[in-house]
Amino acid sequence: MMDCKQALTEAKGDLEQAVVLLRKRGVSVAAKKAARVTSEGSVASYIHAGGKIGVLVEVNCESDFVARTDDFKELVHDIAMHIAASDPKFVRKEDVTPEAYEREKDIYRSQAAATGKPPQVVEKIVEGKMSKFYEEVCLYEQPFIKDQTINISQLIAAKIGKLGENISVRRFARFKVGDPGQTIGISQPEQKAE
């Protein structure tokens, strides 16, 4: 409540500007809390209409108290639904295997070189395509299906700002009827705060 009042005062009564200020603060709060260990949380499932796609996701937070809040449960449900719709392969950029990274980079480099552009231009093209690759296969980089103006990382950062605890997606599994396997994304182990 005090944060809202302070933001309105700072924005000189402009409600839209106050909302922008609060959103920016949420991101800075998330950055401060990123090193804190998340050992509580919840596992949730989402079965898409028709029963053809199912997701299990583990989202962690710092305390059982936050894990039981409606805001946290809503976040977990939204992430599970997003995974069902977007089929990410990894949780974060850092989780992309070196093999997958090199394979994609080689493909993009070959495609760009075939255009006959100079080497420095080819590298810029590869960089751009790798950014797009991360956006397609990394959960945290994907635009949120309910609001394309933010990505999953920003959605989580907003909840961190609201709930006051670090939140992270630990792992997920996505199953689709007829697919020979499933998509499993596991985040790298967290470093303990010292």
The predicted-structure confidence for 100-125, as pLDDT tens digits, reads as follows 999 999 999 888 888 888 888 888 99
E strands present in the chain: 40-47, 53-61, 143-144, 147-151, 168-176, 182-186
1 or 47, higher pLDDT: 47
Do 148 and 52 reside in the same domain of the chain?
yes
pTM: 0.74
N- to C-terminal Cα separation, the chain: 32
Per-residue confidence (pLDDT) for residue 53, from 0 to 100: 93
Do 133 and 150 reside in the same domain of the chain?
no
CATH number for the domain harbouring residue 101: 1.10.286
85: containing domain: 37-92+138-194
Do 155 and 165 reside in the same domain of the chain?
yes
Per-residue confidence (pLDDT) for residue 191, from 0 to 100: 42
Please state the length of the chain.
194
Percentage of the chain exceeding pLDDT 90 = 52
Do 194 and 103 reside in the same domain of the chain?
no
Do 106 and 188 reside in the same domain of the chain?
no
Do 88 and 150 reside in the same domain of the chain?
yes
- Do 43 and 138 touch, CB atoms closer than 8 A? no
Q: How many structural domains are present in the chain?
A: 3
Average pLDDT across the chain, whole number: 85
Do 71 and 158 reside in the same domain of the chain?
yes
- pLDDT confidence band for 29 (50 / 70 / 90): low
Tens of pLDDT, residue by residue over 152-185, are 999 999 999 899 889 999 999 999 998 877 778 8
Give phi and psi for 46, each to the nearest 5.
Answer: -140, 125
